[in-house]
Structure 1
Amino acid sequence: MAEKIVQLSDEFWNIRGDLRIGGVLNVGTQCSLVRLAEGRFVFLDSYTLTGKIRERVMDLTDQGRAVEAVLNLHPFHTLHCAQMARDFPDATFYGSARHAQKVPDVGWSPDLVESGAVAARYPELSFSLPEGIDYISKDESVHAGSLLVFHPASGSLHVDDTFNVLPLPETLRKLLPVPRIAFHPTLKKALHDTPDAGARFCDWAERIATDWAGTRTLCAAHSAISRFKPGEFSKALRDTVSRTRRKLAT
């Protein structure tokens, strides 16, 4: 896994970053850059930009001056927020309540990233918070909850942790029973303590399969980018929901 910037359309770039566990195992991370109307830009998540990736981003954004906001979507992804704030001092920083607690030096907006106020501010983007699971778990090892963002114009879906993908060649995928989309392994631990929590999560995921059926590219934080032909995303997600619904019911 190596740092790189991937242009998915004229309006959407996904930056694949490094995240090393114990300084050794690179599980990867991501952020995305989205061009909005009138030359404005927003980042989805934070990442420390260096080298050619930084040069490319600065060229696109008038040396960072066109970056209007940074939307930090996953409450447990906080490592790069402070550096991002230094790199883009004029941008508005949105995050969860946990972001403000863990990185208090950043001048966070009072509007939480998952709020309706932020969604209304960016009509070019669609937002969805999973139902039936904790967004911010009390158990800090449970990272299944995150705010998902879909960019309809490019068909790009940016998701941290909640959805995972395993990048396999199509020939190998036909031989192995590996799903195109998987849910985070801590999903069961993230469920609300209610009898219907699993069903609520699965119902929510099925709505995503319908509402965001135009997804052509899934950008997942700790796995990879996965590309879909028309109709493939919805089918892949529904297949995963079907398997998961049975497991969560037991």
Structure 2
Amino acid sequence: MIEHLADNFWNIRGDFKISHVINIGTQMSLVRRPGGDFVLLDCYEMEASDQDELMALTDGGARIEAVLNVHPFHTVHCKFIQQILPHARLIGTRRHHRKLPDLRWDPALIEDDATQQEFADIFDFSIPAGVDFIPEDESVHVSSVMVRHRESGIIHVDDTLMFLNLPGLVEKLLPGPRLRFHPKLAEGLEKRAGAADDYIAWAKALARDWADTKIVCAAHKGIIRLTDETFAEAIGEALEQASKTLDKHRKNYG
């Protein structure tokens, strides 16, 4: 499903099932630059109807100039996107290059400042501090390159921020989905003194710098519309929920 969230921002939702049973969802976003060309955030093998709509929006795909893959462990659909958009720059992390060496990767890496500056006319970027960007344990998906569309204030994020749909009874007391940091934060924090404090400082800076955010497109579970609280309040609540994890890390490592 393609949802038009702002004048120049579309979010494309898809299915992603754990063990072929539990559907946690996935996403891709389409952003139009001021000159009329487009950038894709992430890759997803769309349904035929969504692919037709994407192509209609982008002159048969010809106006999509680049695809930015912002989570090092989201690699499943990269081949499909390169097949349907062979002309577009396929930009990923260093793990994308290592994991899928047969694809025609652009030499630029999305985690590098120089690459991010190429798209600074429309995006702000943020990478969490205090956590491993590409950990050895491939089940730990805590870190990614978060992207904020400056014009609309919409955030596109994979795994680093997630949200919970609360049960009906709890929903009456705490309306709306709750923003949370990845549940494997404890495993993702760097095993060194100061890592927990670095993570907290990053989160607080994110809350301050992206304070006017009203919509968060999360890879898993869907789109969060912040109607009952501000982004800063949501991040503050997420930090509070993670406080025991962060305190334990500080106790163990200093």
2:58 maps to which residue? 61
Distance (Å, rounded) in 2 between the aligned partners of 1:79 and 1:20: 12
Answer yes or no: is 1:150 the counterpart of 2:148: yes
2:225 maps to which residue? 227
Q: How does 1:90-169 map to 2 (within 5 A)?
A: 90-123=87-120, 124-168=122-166
Q: How does 1:13-32 map to 2 (within 5 A)?
A: 13-32=10-29
2:6 maps to which residue? 9
Equivalent residue of 2:108, what SS?
coil
Gaps of 5+ in 1: none
1:242 maps to which residue? 240
Q: How does 1:165-244 map to 2 (within 5 A)?
A: 165-168=163-166, 172-176=170-174, 180-229=178-227, 232-244=230-242
Q: How does 1:17-96 map to 2 (within 5 A)?
A: 17-96=14-93
CA contact (8 A) 1:131 1:200 kept: yes
1:56 CA drift (Å) = 1.0
1:186-217 Cα offsets, whole Å, 9 max, x none, are: 11101111121111111101111000011110
Distance (Å, rounded) in 2 between the aligned partners of 1:11 and 1:85: 23
1:17 CA drift (Å) = 0.9
1:6 CA drift (Å) = 1.1
Distance (Å, rounded) in 1 between the aligned partners of 2:124 and 2:187: 27
Bigger fraction of residues in strand: 2
1:243 CA drift (Å) = 3.5
In the superposition, the TM-score normalised over structure 1's length comes to: 0.93
1:133 CA drift (Å) = 0.3
Moved more, 216-225 or 164-173: 164-173
Distance (Å, rounded) in 2 between the aligned partners of 1:138 and 1:181: 26
Distance (Å, rounded) in 1 between the aligned partners of 2:104 and 2:224: 34
Distance (Å, rounded) in 1 between the aligned partners of 2:204 and 2:229: 14
Gaps of 5+ in 2: 249-254
1:194-241 Cα offsets, whole Å, 9 max, x none, are: 121111111101111000011110011112211114961111111221
Distance (Å, rounded) in 2 between the aligned partners of 1:145 and 1:243: 18
CA RMSD of aligned residues (A): 1.9
CA contact (8 A) 1:202 1:244 kept: no
* Structure 1 residue runs of 4 or more that deviate by more than 6 Å after TM superposition: none
Distance (Å, rounded) in 1 between the aligned partners of 2:208 and 2:169: 28
What is the aligned length? 247
Distance (Å, rounded) in 1 between the aligned partners of 2:212 and 2:79: 34
CA contact (8 A) 2:166 2:177 kept: no
Distance (Å, rounded) in 2 between the aligned partners of 1:68 and 1:61: 10
Cα distance change, pair 66–140 in 1 and its aligned pair in 2 (3 A): same
Distance (Å, rounded) in 2 between the aligned partners of 1:117 and 1:96: 13
Cα distance change, pair 245–37 in 1 and its aligned pair in 2 (3 A): same
